[in-house]
Amino acid sequence: MSCVIFGAGKIARGFIGHLLYLSNIDFVFVEKADALADLINERGEYTVNILGNSAENCVVKNAKALKFSQKEEIAQAIAQSDAVFNAVGGKNLGEIVPFLAAGIEAKAKQGGFINFITCENWKKPADILRDGISAAISDNAREFFENNTGITEAVIMRSAIEADAELLKKDPLIVNVQNFWELPLDASRVKGSLPHIKGLKLVEEFTGFLERKFYTYNAANGTTSFVGALMGYEKIADAAHDEKILKILDGVYNETARALSVKHRIPFDDQWAFTRTSLNKLQDYTIVDFIERNARDPLRKLGPDDRLVGSARLVESCGIVPENLCIAIAAAIYYTNDSDEFAVKLGEMRTAQGIDYILENVCKLDPRGTIGMLVKEKINYLKSEGYINE
């Protein structure tokens, strides 16, 4: 058995590759960054540290990687694989489409089934890949693509965190990960069967699961990160224990839980219990995760379908006022970090063009609409509390 993993970042190495290694399944990374691919091939192994459970630490051996320039080798690796994973970041999905299409065309000549599993914190990543491949696939392979190719979604629940400088000196590929082992996957889109992979959980009733995770976990993470940044915190767990942030977080959880339970017809108590797993993760001191990493690229995270504005729109569509989510949006608009080019650009927008411009052009919100007006109200609230000094 063999698998291909597009991407060789922390989630690819510290979760997908780790689970495949523990399942005795051979795999190869496909990595855009030549330097990272070279490092993997040179070292041939890397360490996965399980935070809070060092007995489960593991050295993943026989690691190898292909570069984007090795197009034929990638196509053949896909054709020979039992499953293909991707963890490249949602905004980079379009870049891997040509490789997937070429791999499907190579597989079509052999017959059988092939499944692609997206492992992205993104909205409808499987649909993005399927639409892209459909536009790129040759006529000769189209029937195979439509009938024998599964493109499905997994929900990434394990956090992967950059190791400190001392550990990276010993192993530049080392990754610290949360002590979480399940990889839920939409079983309804699988064609044929998947190899037995440790932690893989086939979910038949998957509808809404990815959205539940995104608008629960990511909304809470965004709230903690951006409000925590305004309050001067550096670490997620420290911010998530602050009483003032907890009050806002509790409101965010209540707003998203009510909306998601209505939209997906889930008992509120079940969705509320799900929010507690999110809070437990945020407050886990063994996960040493930094606000700077989680708040990075605020322009993307203020997008209309992303964790904060997307959640607020969902909540409003269910007849609920997103009071606390709008505090988080207000905090995100005022996020500052001189080393983050997107935060710098956001600051320039605030100064030169104003809040209404950001609401309209970044968040895609009507500045005079319900959410837009509420965000501006919350900006004034944060100023009155002394968290915004502009």
Beta-ladder partners of 200: 183
Q: Does pLDDT of 211 surpass 90?
A: no
In the chain, what are the domains?
2-203 (3.40.50.720), 210-384 (1.10.1040.10)
* Inter-CA distances, 305 with 125, 301, 314, Å: 13, 9, 9
Task: Please give the average per-residue pLDDT across 224-239, as a whole number.
Answer: 98
Separation of alpha carbons 77 and 99, rounded Å = 11
pLDDT, one tens digit per residue, over 26-35 is: 999 999 999 9
Give the predicted TM-score (pTM) of the model.
0.83
pLDDT, one tens digit per residue, over 329-344 is: 999 999 999 999 999 9
Split at pLDDT 50, 70, 90, the class of 103 is very high
pLDDT, one tens digit per residue, over 151-193 is: 999 999 899 988 889 999 989 999 999 999 999 999 999 999 9
Residue in this structure with the two tokens 């007849």, named with its chain if needed: 319
Task: Please give the average per-residue pLDDT across 345-372, as a whole number.
Answer: 98
Q: 327-364 as b/e, with b when 16 or more CB fall inside 10 Å?
A: bbbbbbbbbebeebebbeebbebbeeeebeebbbebbe
Task: Please give the average per-residue pLDDT across 308-328, as a whole number.
Answer: 98
Separation of alpha carbons 356 and 113, rounded Å = 50
Separation of alpha carbons 218 and 211, rounded Å = 10
Q: Does pLDDT of 90 surpass 80?
A: yes
